[in-house]
Amino acid sequence: MASVCFYFQVHQPHRLRHYTIFDSGSDYFDAYKNAEICRKVAKKCYLPTNRLLLELIERHAGQFKVAFSITGTALEQFADYAPEVLVGFQRLAATGCVEFLSETYHHSLSFLFSPDEFADQVAAHRKLIRDLFGQTPQVFRNTELIYSNQLAQAVARIGGFKAILAEGADHILGYRSPNYVYKPPEAPGLKLLLKNYRLSDDIAFRFSNRHWSEWPLSVGKFAQWVNAVNGNGYVVNLFVDYETFGEHQWEDTGIFEFLRALPDEILRHPDNGFKTPGEVADAYEAVDAVDVPHLISWADTERDLSAWLGNAMQQNAITELYRMEQAVKQTGDPDILRDWRRLQTSDHFYYMCTKYFADGDVHKYFNPYDTPYDSYINFMNVLDNMRSRCATARPAAPSPARIVETQSPQYPRRRTDTSVTV
């Protein structure tokens, strides 16, 4: 039996405004640009794809299932700029066929620099998902699918998770297939679900590439590739950015028609079905432990962290940012804490990347800078102002508890009906 496991990543960062060394205000973020991009992507991707998924779930009466990981920064912007998107996700949650995953609230690299901050962001994100969608996430995915043995152990220590997601990179699997369930070494209770990057990238990156030998990709052809897993695995993990539908792959490529027809074609084979990551973890035992002593990700051809930490600018910027942690938290100022956490979003460091690779093309839509050097200078100017705010803020009274909550906008109430079309 081949269980297709769809997981969609949904993220929008708080982009910075142009901030010079002469600026002194604390209004670091470009509300106009963030609203413009959020509404644009909502119109092209989030709203039509949410409607389509709801239609497919209702048509297949519970047989079609998907999962989402939605960052806290994206949910904040939906509440501020596109509340109908958030309502659409709540209607999907109410079907019982959609699972919501856990990650860092701010789509950050905090695991690499601050264990306490990492744990706080995971806790804040879990609470937000529970409040908005009525689910307590039991499957974890780290920012950009960054993973190692050490991450799995940290997630196991936090507790409450049954599985963790990672990239099914060839160099960690060797002869093994990503189409089985594995487990991390020395992380009791956790199962490891690995992305089938070939089939995932066929949809996310190659779908509209006319130079690809398999173009055009028909639903029938893709279903045959899924069917081929039967007898050589039991799960096909399709992990893709949600913006694949309508933004990275435009509507005129046929991507929505492909998605609309896919469940029927997959379910045509009697041994096939759809499961969420949590259901996969419950249904199958781990066949082996996969040792990942070094950090991997789902980014670029190297599957490493060089997209965010590959040059001196990136390393300097993020080191200086996390060096401020104690000073920020000692102020007890929720505005300073909120801004510092928004600066942790991985996109800020991605914009400083000087590499050139085909995978990066999809991100050019959202990069507000002409060069990586402009991004670095702008970020460091903001950081200088943050230092001044910390230095002049009155220190808070000592508290035994760490700050977990993140200031957020007012969210719509959680919905339990699925009948109204957004």
| Annotated catalytic residue within 103, 117, 144, 247 | 144
Sign of the CA dihedral running 342, 81, 245, 140: positive
Length of the chain: 422
> What would the 3-class secondary structure string for 370-416 be?
CCHHHHHHHHHHHHHHHHHHHHHCCCCCCCCCCCCCCCCCCCCCCCC
Instruction: Give Dmax (Cα) for the chain.
Output: 67
Task: State the Cα–Cα distance between residues 156 and 378, nearest whole angstrom.
Answer: 37
Helices (H), 268-360: 277-283, 306-309, 312-323, 325-331, 334-343, 347-350
Burial class (CB in 10 A: 0-12, 13-18, 19+), 326: exposed
- DSSP state letter for 43: I
β-sheet bridge partners, residue 276: none
Task: State the Cα–Cα distance between residues 242 and 78, nearest whole angstrom.
Answer: 15
Task: State the Cα–Cα distance between residues 89 and 68, nearest whole angstrom.
Answer: 9
Catalytic residue check, 285: no
CB 346 within 8 A of CB 308: yes
Helices H / strands E in the chain, number of each = 18, 8
Q: What are phi and psi of 112, to 5 degrees?
A: -80, -20
Pairing of strands 2-10, 191-195: unpaired
* 3-class secondary-structure state, position 100: strand
Catalytic residues: 144
